[in-house]
Amino acid sequence: MSKITAPIATVIAAFMVCLTLLIATGSLTPTPKNYATVKFDGGYQKIGIISSESMFTQASIEFNGSKSVSGSFNEVIDVLKNFADGSDLSKRSLKTGSILKASAGIKWEGSSSNFKLTTDSILKISTESKPLTIQSVIDDLYDLEAKAKAARVSNSESALEFSASPANGTFLASKIINALTK
- The pLDDT of residue 4: 77
CA–CA gap between residue 86 and residue 110 (Å, rounded): 43
Q: Can you tell me the distance from the alpha carbon of 135 to that of 93, in angstroms, rounded to the nearest whole number?
A: 9
Residue-wise pLDDT for 1-47, tens only, equals 578 788 888 888 888 887 787 777 766 666 778 888 998 887 889 99
Domain ranges of the chain: 1-30, 34-162
CA distances from 59 to 101, 104, 152, 181 (A): 6, 9, 19, 44
Q: Which residue has the higher pLDDT, 178 or 20?
A: 20
Tens digits of per-residue pLDDT, 137-167?
999 999 999 999 999 999 999 999 988 877 6
Q: Tens digits of per-residue pLDDT, 100-150? A: 999 999 999 999 999 999 999 999 999 999 999 999 999 999 999 999 999
Question: Which pLDDT value is given to residue 9?
Answer: 80
Question: 35-52 burial by CB neighbour count: b if 16+ within 10 A, else e?
Answer: bbbbeeeeeebebbebee
Q: Residue 174: which pLDDT band, with cuts at 50, 70 and 90? A: low
Which amino acid does the sequence have at 107? K
Question: pTM of whole model > 0.75?
Answer: no
**pLDDT confidence of residue 181:** 58
For residue 172, CA distances in Å to 15, 18, 93, 128, 179 come to 21, 17, 59, 62, 11
Give the pLDDT mean for 51-62: 96
